[in-house]
Every structure is written in structure tokens, then in C-alpha cells.
Amino acid sequence: MARIETSLENDIGTIVLNDPAKRNALSAALISELLAALLSFEEQHVRVVVLRAPAGATTWSAGHDVHELPTNGRDPMTYNDPLRRAIRQIQEYPGAVIALVEGGVWGGACELAMACDMILAADTATFALTPARLGVPYDIVGAMNLMQSVSLPVIKEMLFRAHSMSAAEAREHGIVNRVVPPEALEAALSEVAGDILRNSPLVVALLKQEFDAISGARPLGAGTFERIQMIRRRIYDSEDYREGIRAFFDKREPKFVGR
Ligand code: LCV
């Protein structure tokens, strides 16, 4: 059963996240279809790609598939984790990737949407970064990616509180390019995509590479990286990590004890 739908019309490639039973959770299976769709659009030299959920969705994506979080206490978010690969492929796509957002964006799905070059949101959109709620030791690459979209105080508030930020507030913080009523979303997309398609594809692709190179140029010493990884391994071995996932499946608030 396909977990995404794709279409190509007027030089715009559209990828629709469509696994309603799991609220478009970013399972390895869904991500693998997403990666294949991006590759296919790249081979067809599609210059604008839109990543969206079906029109009227109440959840854009529920984030990382919690069923696929490790139970053996080891890192799922390694370099080749499906979500990491999807984020890199979006960042490296030689054209504009636009997230068209309606409904709730949760956890790793926020990182996926923010990895896109811009976000056009309906006023129904909300954004929640949830590792602290689940007890998941978010990885440092994810933290660096988020810092590219959001100022440090705002990203800390989102991560520490794990609350849902409204589209209007996300717009105020520059996370979202535009907020419109749901019925005006397609028109906003046509305007933005139309302008991009009238411009030089070579220059748009170059600009994307320049920003990717500059934003990825933040130095991080090996020692610092290892120290962070050591702390993350301890959290994966903690009672709190197990409690966060148990609480999710029990559909109750987690009770963290700090060990
Ligand atoms: C698997 C799911 C999920 C899901 N995985 O429908 O960023 S990090 O570090 O936190 C990273 C680890 C991460 O991204 O973690 C995931 C963060 N996501 C969340 O915390 C969102 C969790 N989901 C929800 O709060 C609700 O499901 C929302 C608000 C998305 C939708 O609520 P709604 O009432 O519409 P249900 O909760 O009834 O969910 C419908 C089905 O989707 C599954 C959920 O288990 C349920 O399956 P069953 O019908 O089999 O019970 N589902 C939802 N999210 N992330 N599966």
C-alpha cells in the first residue's frame, strides 16, 4: 500500500504524505517512498517540488514512527537513518522544495518541513518539537538543522516545552514564510512556485548549494561530538527513555524521574 502519492504538473512535482492510519508518521517505509520520489523528480530535472499532506489534513505528519524507536537503547538517528537521509536529500535537491503545511507537524516532521527551502502554511498548521516529551535524546545534527530555521531562544522554548506553536507564531519567528486560510494555500503556492519557475534554475540550484555549504560549516570538534554522544547513549539506557515510549503507547502523560 503506497504511503505517498506523487504528481507532476506544469513543472511542479508534488509529493503527498498519505498514510492516514498512522497520521503520516515518518516510518522507514514512508521515507523510502519519499526518497524514491525525490530521486525521480531530480532525474526529470523538476525544478520545484512540493511536500504536503492531503488538502484539509488535521495532521501534516505525526513525526518519527514511535514504533521504530530503538528498544535496545541504541541510536536510530544515525547518518543513514531514513529521516536523516530524507532531510539531506531535501537539502541537496537541485531545485526549490516547498513544504505546504496544514494541520499538526510533530517531532521529526518539524525538522523535515524546516529542511525544505520554505514553508507555506494554512492558519490551521501547528508545530511541536517533542523529544523532551518522549524522553528521546535528540541528535546533534537535528539540533544544528533546527538552528538554521529558528533563533536559539525560540528553538529552546519549542524543545524544552514540547508545546504546539501556532502558524501565526511560527510566522512571527520566521519559521514559516507565509500563513493563509486553507482555501488560499494553493494560490499562494502557485504565486511562489510561478516566480521561481521564471528564474534561472542554475542560479537557484547554486544558491541552494551555497547556503547548504555555509550553514553546514559550523565547526564541531570530534571530542565535543563524542562527549555529546556519550550523554545520548546514557539517556537511551535510562528509565526515562523507556517511560517516555511506554507513556506514548499507553496514551498517558509520561512520569520522568531524571534517571
Ligand atoms: C507511530 C503514530 C504516531 C507516531 N508514530 O490520532 O522528534 S522526536 O525526537 O520526538 C521523534 C522521536 C519523533 O518525531 O517522535 C514522534 C513525535 N510525535 C508525536 O509526539 C505525535 C504523537 N501523535 C499524536 O499526538 C497524535 O497521534 C496526533 C495529534 C498526531 C493525531 O491525533 P489523532 O487523535 O488524530 P491518534 O492519536 O488516535 O493516532 C492515530 C493512529 O496513529 C498512530 C497512533 O498510534 C494511532 O494508531 P492506532 O490507531 O493503531 O492506535 N500514531 C500517531 N502518531 N509518531 N504511530
Per-residue three-class SS string for the chain: CCCEEEEEECCEEEEEECCHHHCCCECHHHHHHHHHHHHHHHHCCCCEEEEECCCCCCEEECCECHHHCCCCCCCCCCCCCHHHHHHHHHHHCCCEEEEEECCEEECHHHHHHHHCCEEEEECCCEEECCHHHHCCCCCHHHHHHHHCCCCHHHHHHHHHHCCEEEHHHHHHCCCCCEEECHHHHHHHHHHHHHHHHCCCHHHHHHHHHHHHHHHCCCCCCHHHHHHHHHHHHHHHCCHHHHHHHHHHHCCCCCCCCCC
pLDDT 10s digits, 11-48: 999 999 999 999 999 999 999 999 999 999 999 999 99
* Active site annotation includes 64: yes
Distance CA 115, CA 26 (A): 14
Q: Starting from the edge strand earliest in sequence, which strands make up the sheet with 104-106, in order?
A: 59-61, 104-106, 126-128, 164-166
- Ligand 1 pocket test target in 3, 18, 23 with most atoms within 8 Å of CB: 23
CB atoms within 10 A of CB 182: 16
Q: Name the residue of 3, 81, 106, 161 whose CB sits within 8 Å of the most ligand 1 atoms, as the mutation to test its pocket.
A: 106
pLDDT in the model for residue 28: 94
108 classed as catalytic? yes
Catalytic residue among 13, 103, 107, 138: 138
Handedness of CA 131, 132, 138, 143 (dihedral sign): positive
The predicted pLDDT at position 180 comes to 98
End-to-end CA distance of the chain: 41
pLDDT in tens, the chain (259 residues): 889 999 999 999 999 999 999 999 999 999 999 999 999 999 999 999 999 999 999 999 999 999 998 877 666 566 778 898 999 999 999 999 999 999 999 999 999 999 999 999 999 999 999 999 999 999 888 898 899 888 999 999 999 999 999 999 999 999 999 999 999 999 999 999 999 999 999 999 999 989 988 887 777 788 888 888 888 888 988 999 999 999 999 999 999 999 9
Distance 210 CA to ligand 1 centre (A): 36
- Whether residue 77 contacts residue 100, with contact meaning beta carbons closer than 8 Å, is answered with no
Catalytic residue among 63, 95, 103, 108: 108
**Model's pTM, two decimal places?**
0.94
Q: What is the third-level CATH fold of 4-181?
A: 2-enoyl-CoA Hydratase; Chain A, domain 1 (3.90.226)
pLDDT on residue 54: 97
Residue ranges around ligand 1 (CB below 6 Å): 22-23, 25, 59, 62-67, 69, 104, 106-108, 130-131, 134, 136, 138
Active site includes 138? Answer: yes
Query: Atom 23 in ligand 1: which residue has the minimum CA distance?
Result: 62
